[in-house]
Amino acid sequence: MIIVLFGKPGAGKGTQAPLLAAALGVPTLATGDELRAAIRAGTPLGLEAKAFMDRGDLVPDSVILGIIKHALSEPRAANGVLLDGVVRTIPQAEGLARVCAELGRQVDAVLFFDIDDEEIVRRLASRTVCEICQSPYTGLEPGSACEKDGGRLVRRKDDEPEAIRNRLVVYERQTAPVLNWYREHGTRVAVIDAVGSVQDVTARALGALVG
Ligand SMILES: [Zn+2]
Protein backbone atom coordinates (compact mmCIF):
# COMPACT_ATOMS: atom_id res chain seq x y z
CA MET A 1 0.00 0.00 0.00
CA ILE A 2 1.77 3.11 -1.25
CA ILE A 3 -0.25 6.26 -0.67
CA VAL A 4 0.69 9.72 -1.93
CA LEU A 5 -0.44 12.60 0.27
CA PHE A 6 -1.34 15.56 -1.86
CA GLY A 7 -2.62 19.08 -1.37
CA LYS A 8 -1.92 22.78 -1.43
CA PRO A 9 0.62 24.23 0.99
CA GLY A 10 -1.33 24.77 4.21
CA ALA A 11 -3.92 22.06 3.50
CA GLY A 12 -2.82 20.18 6.63
CA LYS A 13 -0.90 17.25 5.08
CA GLY A 14 1.88 17.61 7.64
CA THR A 15 -0.63 17.45 10.51
CA GLN A 16 -2.50 14.49 9.04
CA ALA A 17 0.52 12.42 7.99
CA PRO A 18 1.54 11.13 11.46
CA LEU A 19 -2.09 10.55 12.51
CA LEU A 20 -2.85 8.53 9.38
CA ALA A 21 0.46 6.68 9.66
CA ALA A 22 -0.35 5.68 13.25
CA ALA A 23 -3.90 4.59 12.33
CA LEU A 24 -2.70 2.55 9.34
CA GLY A 25 0.42 1.17 11.03
CA VAL A 26 2.74 2.31 8.25
CA PRO A 27 5.54 4.90 8.24
CA THR A 28 5.53 8.29 6.55
CA LEU A 29 8.32 8.98 4.10
CA ALA A 30 8.83 12.71 3.72
CA THR A 31 11.34 13.96 1.17
CA GLY A 32 13.03 16.38 3.57
CA ASP A 33 13.43 13.78 6.35
CA GLU A 34 14.80 11.10 4.01
CA LEU A 35 17.20 13.58 2.45
CA ARG A 36 18.55 14.66 5.85
CA ALA A 37 18.83 11.03 7.00
CA ALA A 38 20.78 10.07 3.86
CA ILE A 39 23.16 12.99 4.38
CA ARG A 40 23.63 12.10 8.07
CA ALA A 41 24.29 8.46 7.18
CA GLY A 42 26.78 9.52 4.49
CA THR A 43 25.29 7.22 1.83
CA PRO A 44 26.53 7.76 -1.75
CA LEU A 45 23.24 9.47 -2.67
CA GLY A 46 23.35 11.49 0.54
CA LEU A 47 26.83 12.75 -0.34
CA GLU A 48 25.67 13.56 -3.85
CA ALA A 49 22.71 15.51 -2.45
CA LYS A 50 24.96 17.36 -0.02
CA ALA A 51 27.28 18.43 -2.83
CA PHE A 52 24.34 20.10 -4.61
CA MET A 53 23.15 21.76 -1.40
CA ASP A 54 26.64 22.99 -0.51
CA ARG A 55 26.77 24.73 -3.90
CA GLY A 56 23.38 26.30 -3.17
CA ASP A 57 21.70 24.22 -5.89
CA LEU A 58 18.43 22.30 -5.71
CA VAL A 59 18.91 18.57 -5.30
CA PRO A 60 17.81 17.07 -8.65
CA ASP A 61 14.83 14.71 -8.88
CA SER A 62 17.08 11.81 -9.88
CA VAL A 63 18.94 11.99 -6.56
CA ILE A 64 15.75 12.46 -4.49
CA LEU A 65 14.09 9.54 -6.26
CA GLY A 66 17.14 7.38 -5.60
CA ILE A 67 16.84 8.18 -1.90
CA ILE A 68 13.09 7.44 -1.93
CA LYS A 69 13.71 4.18 -3.79
CA HIS A 70 16.19 3.13 -1.13
CA ALA A 71 13.68 3.99 1.63
CA LEU A 72 10.91 2.07 -0.15
CA SER A 73 13.09 -1.03 -0.34
CA GLU A 74 13.77 -1.07 3.43
CA PRO A 75 11.86 -3.50 5.71
CA ARG A 76 10.01 -0.64 7.46
CA ALA A 77 8.26 0.13 4.15
CA ALA A 78 7.31 -3.48 3.37
CA ASN A 79 3.67 -3.13 4.45
CA GLY A 80 3.16 0.27 2.95
CA VAL A 81 4.06 3.93 3.28
CA LEU A 82 2.57 7.36 3.16
CA LEU A 83 4.59 9.64 0.88
CA ASP A 84 4.57 13.28 1.95
CA GLY A 85 6.06 15.93 -0.30
CA VAL A 86 7.51 13.40 -2.72
CA VAL A 87 5.36 14.30 -5.71
CA ARG A 88 5.02 17.98 -6.56
CA THR A 89 5.47 17.89 -10.36
CA ILE A 90 4.54 15.59 -13.24
CA PRO A 91 8.20 14.55 -13.81
CA GLN A 92 8.35 13.55 -10.13
CA ALA A 93 5.13 11.50 -10.52
CA GLU A 94 6.64 9.78 -13.57
CA GLY A 95 9.88 9.17 -11.69
CA LEU A 96 8.09 7.71 -8.69
CA ALA A 97 6.05 5.40 -10.96
CA ARG A 98 9.31 4.18 -12.52
CA VAL A 99 10.94 3.61 -9.12
CA CYS A 100 7.88 1.72 -7.85
CA ALA A 101 7.79 -0.46 -10.99
CA GLU A 102 11.47 -1.32 -10.49
CA LEU A 103 10.54 -2.53 -7.00
CA GLY A 104 7.50 -4.45 -8.27
CA ARG A 105 5.15 -2.03 -6.52
CA GLN A 106 2.82 0.80 -7.47
CA VAL A 107 1.12 3.88 -6.05
CA ASP A 108 -2.22 2.56 -4.82
CA ALA A 109 -4.00 5.81 -4.04
CA VAL A 110 -3.57 9.56 -3.88
CA LEU A 111 -5.17 11.32 -0.92
CA PHE A 112 -5.95 14.84 -2.02
CA PHE A 113 -6.64 17.22 0.88
CA ASP A 114 -8.98 19.73 -0.71
CA ILE A 115 -9.32 23.27 0.62
CA ASP A 116 -9.85 26.65 -1.00
CA ASP A 117 -7.20 29.36 -1.19
CA GLU A 118 -8.90 31.87 1.11
CA GLU A 119 -9.20 29.28 3.88
CA ILE A 120 -5.46 28.57 3.54
CA VAL A 121 -4.52 32.24 3.72
CA ARG A 122 -6.71 32.60 6.81
CA ARG A 123 -5.33 29.44 8.41
CA LEU A 124 -1.64 30.18 7.81
CA ALA A 125 -1.99 33.82 8.79
CA SER A 126 -3.20 32.65 12.21
CA ARG A 127 -0.21 30.33 12.61
CA THR A 128 2.87 31.32 14.62
CA VAL A 129 5.95 29.41 15.71
CA CYS A 130 8.20 29.76 18.76
CA GLU A 131 11.51 31.43 17.96
CA ILE A 132 13.30 29.06 20.34
CA CYS A 133 11.70 25.60 20.06
CA GLN A 134 9.78 26.04 16.76
CA SER A 135 6.54 24.75 18.32
CA PRO A 136 3.61 25.74 16.10
CA TYR A 137 0.63 27.66 17.49
CA THR A 138 -2.71 28.60 16.01
CA GLY A 139 -4.66 31.70 16.98
CA LEU A 140 -1.90 33.38 19.04
CA GLU A 141 -0.62 36.73 17.83
CA PRO A 142 3.06 37.24 16.95
CA GLY A 143 4.80 38.50 20.10
CA SER A 144 2.90 36.14 22.42
CA ALA A 145 4.92 33.78 24.63
CA CYS A 146 5.54 30.07 23.98
CA GLU A 147 3.82 27.88 26.59
CA LYS A 148 6.84 25.59 26.78
CA ASP A 149 9.79 27.93 27.15
CA GLY A 150 8.46 31.50 27.10
CA GLY A 151 10.05 32.09 23.68
CA ARG A 152 8.59 34.77 21.44
CA LEU A 153 6.08 33.62 18.82
CA VAL A 154 6.76 34.82 15.29
CA ARG A 155 5.05 34.37 11.93
CA ARG A 156 7.19 32.45 9.46
CA LYS A 157 8.01 34.49 6.34
CA ASP A 158 6.48 31.63 4.34
CA ASP A 159 3.18 32.16 6.12
CA GLU A 160 2.79 35.87 5.30
CA PRO A 161 -0.27 36.33 3.06
CA GLU A 162 1.79 37.48 0.06
CA ALA A 163 4.19 34.55 0.37
CA ILE A 164 1.27 32.15 0.68
CA ARG A 165 -0.32 33.50 -2.51
CA ASN A 166 2.97 33.01 -4.34
CA ARG A 167 3.19 29.41 -3.11
CA LEU A 168 -0.40 28.83 -4.23
CA VAL A 169 0.42 30.15 -7.72
CA VAL A 170 3.36 27.74 -7.94
CA TYR A 171 1.07 24.95 -6.74
CA GLU A 172 -1.54 25.69 -9.44
CA ARG A 173 1.08 25.79 -12.17
CA GLN A 174 3.30 22.84 -11.24
CA THR A 175 1.52 20.65 -8.74
CA ALA A 176 -2.22 20.71 -9.47
CA PRO A 177 -1.73 19.04 -12.91
CA VAL A 178 -0.27 16.00 -11.11
CA LEU A 179 -3.78 15.01 -9.94
CA ASN A 180 -4.97 14.64 -13.52
CA TRP A 181 -1.81 12.76 -14.38
CA TYR A 182 -2.70 10.19 -11.72
CA ARG A 183 -6.33 9.99 -12.85
CA GLU A 184 -5.23 9.46 -16.46
CA HIS A 185 -2.87 6.69 -15.34
CA GLY A 186 -5.63 4.85 -13.51
CA THR A 187 -4.55 5.65 -9.95
CA ARG A 188 -7.37 6.24 -7.50
CA VAL A 189 -7.54 9.86 -6.34
CA ALA A 190 -9.57 10.26 -3.14
CA VAL A 191 -10.70 13.85 -2.57
CA ILE A 192 -10.84 14.67 1.14
CA ASP A 193 -12.61 17.78 2.41
CA ALA A 194 -9.75 19.29 4.45
CA VAL A 195 -11.86 21.92 6.21
CA GLY A 196 -12.86 21.00 9.75
CA SER A 197 -11.28 19.66 12.91
CA VAL A 198 -8.09 17.62 12.69
CA GLN A 199 -9.98 14.52 13.93
CA ASP A 200 -12.76 14.94 11.36
CA VAL A 201 -10.28 15.23 8.49
CA THR A 202 -8.37 12.15 9.69
CA ALA A 203 -11.63 10.20 9.87
CA ARG A 204 -12.61 11.27 6.36
CA ALA A 205 -9.21 10.26 4.99
CA LEU A 206 -9.33 6.84 6.65
CA GLY A 207 -12.92 6.37 5.44
CA ALA A 208 -11.86 7.18 1.88
CA LEU A 209 -9.04 4.63 1.98
CA VAL A 210 -11.29 1.87 3.28
CA GLY A 211 -14.27 2.73 1.10
ZN1 LIG B 1 9.04 27.46 22.59
What pLDDT score was predicted for residue 161?
85
For residue 168, the SS3 value is helix
pTM > 0.85: yes
Ligand 1 centroid–CA 46 distance in Å is 31
The dihedral region occupied by 159, where left means phi > 0, alpha psi between -120 and 50, and beta the remainder, is: alpha
Is 127 considered catalytic here? yes
Ligand 1 centroid–CA 43 distance in Å is 33
Cα–Cα dist 15/8, whole Å? 13
Note residues around ion ligand 1 (Cβ under 5 angstroms).
130, 132-133, 135, 146, 148-149, 151
Q: Among the options 50, 88, 105, 188, which is catalytic?
A: 88
Ligand 1 centroid–CA 14 distance in Å is 19
Write out pLDDT tens, residues 87-97.
999 999 999 99
Q: Which of 4-8, 119-123, 159-163 has the highest mean pLDDT?
A: 4-8
Ligand 1 centroid–CA 156 distance in Å is 14
Cα–Cα dist 27/173, whole Å? 30
What pLDDT score was predicted for residue 10?
87
pLDDT of 45 over the 80 cut = yes
What pLDDT score was predicted for residue 184?
97
Maximum separation of any 2 CA atoms in the chain, in Å? 52
Classify residue 63 by burial, with Cβ atoms within 10 Å: 0-12, 13-18, 19+. buried
Write out pLDDT tens, residues 132-147.
999 889 889 999 999 9
Helical axes 31-41 vs 44-54, angle rounded to 10°: 110
Query: Percent of the chain having pLDDT more than 70?
Result: 100
What pLDDT score was predicted for residue 211?
65
Is 69 considered catalytic here? no
> With contact defined as beta carbons under 8 Å apart, do 172 and 94 qualify?
no
What pLDDT score was predicted for residue 70?
94
Residue 174: pLDDT band by 50, 70, 90 thresholds? Answer: very high
* Range scoring the smallest mean pLDDT among 74-83, 150-159, 180-189: 150-159
Write out pLDDT tens, residues 1-25.
999 999 998 898 988 999 999 999 9
Q: Among the options 50, 69, 105, 127, which is catalytic?
A: 127
pLDDT of 36 over the 80 cut = yes
Q: Among the options 40, 98, 148, 156, which is catalytic?
A: 156
